[in-house]
Amino acid sequence: MEQGEKQAMEQATYAEPERERAGEEESAAPLGGESNAALHEEESEQADREEAAEPMETAPTAEELAAAKAQIAELEAKLAEMENRYLRLYADFENFRRRTRQEMEAAEKYRAQSLANDLLPVLDNFERALNIEADSEQAKSILQGMEMVYRSLVDALKKEGVEAIEAVGKPFDPHWHQAVMQAEAEGYEPNTVVEELQKGYRLKDRVLRPAMVKVSQ
């Protein structure tokens, strides 16, 4: 009898902790559910606050549209002005480049002009000296030497494009000839060069000195 009571007491002692653990688990389950619900509610409130903080788009007013149109028109006018200014500057630059190129070409083409102008009086003096009649062998020898120098000078100038202007027998041309006299001349058409008083010279297509001539009436 005593042994049976002792076994019953041991079983009751062992069952009591099991019942306590089961009670703790049952009491903990409702607490976890309440925590999740509170967290979900807080997240929902946070989302609502963020949506409320976002600015709402509103349609522009008539005054704002008018101001925007005025600003666009002003910008378009400035753009047109800048385009016109660019075109003018580009045209000026092209003209400047063309003039510069023409000046460089002319400088190359007529590079001997200054020297030729300085040598024209020398050629005149040679021609006057060669027209003198030599009365001795010594004078003839000197004239021959002068003629050689004269021919060499003329040839050197010719290589640079300097040539004498044709005059006698040619129709008078004010671009190449300078008429200083008019006279009746048989065998010549009117307005024809009948005599050359001073030789003229040209450098390629440019007149260095027009020929001074007498023209028939």
Question: pLDDT value at position 1?
Answer: 44
147 plus 189 within the same structural domain: yes
Q: Note whether residue 124 is domain-resident.
A: yes
Q: Note whether residue 8 is domain-resident.
A: no
Q: Note whether residue 162 is domain-resident.
A: yes
Q: Note whether residue 156 is domain-resident.
A: yes
Question: pLDDT value at position 34?
Answer: 54
Question: pLDDT value at position 108?
Answer: 84
Q: Note whether residue 46 is domain-resident.
A: no
127 plus 203 within the same structural domain: yes
189 plus 162 within the same structural domain: yes
Residues with Cβ within 8 Å of 147's Cβ and at least 6 positions away in sequence, in order, are 130
Question: pLDDT value at position 122?
Answer: 94
DSSP reduced 3-state for 171: strand
DSSP reduced 3-state for 10: helix
93 plus 114 within the same structural domain: no
100 plus 197 within the same structural domain: no
Averaged pLDDT in 10-residue chunks for the chain of 217 residues: 50 51 49 58 69 64 89 93 94 94 87 91 92 86 92 93 93 94 87 93 94 93
CA diameter of the chain: 192
Question: pLDDT value at position 200?
Answer: 95
Whole-model pTM over 0.75: no
Give the residue from 129, 128, 179, 122 showing the smallest Cα distance to 153: 122
Give the residue from 209, 122, 130 showing the smallest Cα distance to 162: 209
Q: Residue 182: give its domain's CATH number.
A: 2.30.22.10
116 plus 94 within the same structural domain: no
Tokens of 117: 């102008």
Q: Note whether residue 19 is domain-resident.
A: no
Q: Which domain holds residue 102?
A: 67-109
Question: pLDDT value at position 29?
Answer: 44
Question: pLDDT value at position 64?
Answer: 87
Question: pLDDT value at position 111?
Answer: 87
Q: Note whether residue 34 is domain-resident.
A: no
Question: pLDDT value at position 62?
Answer: 85
Of the residues 109, 140, 174, the one at which a domain ends: 109
* Number of folded domains that form the chain: 2
Question: pLDDT value at position 30?
Answer: 46
142 plus 179 within the same structural domain: yes
Q: Note whether residue 163 is domain-resident.
A: yes
Question: pLDDT value at position 9?
Answer: 55
133 plus 204 within the same structural domain: yes
Question: pLDDT value at position 107?
Answer: 85
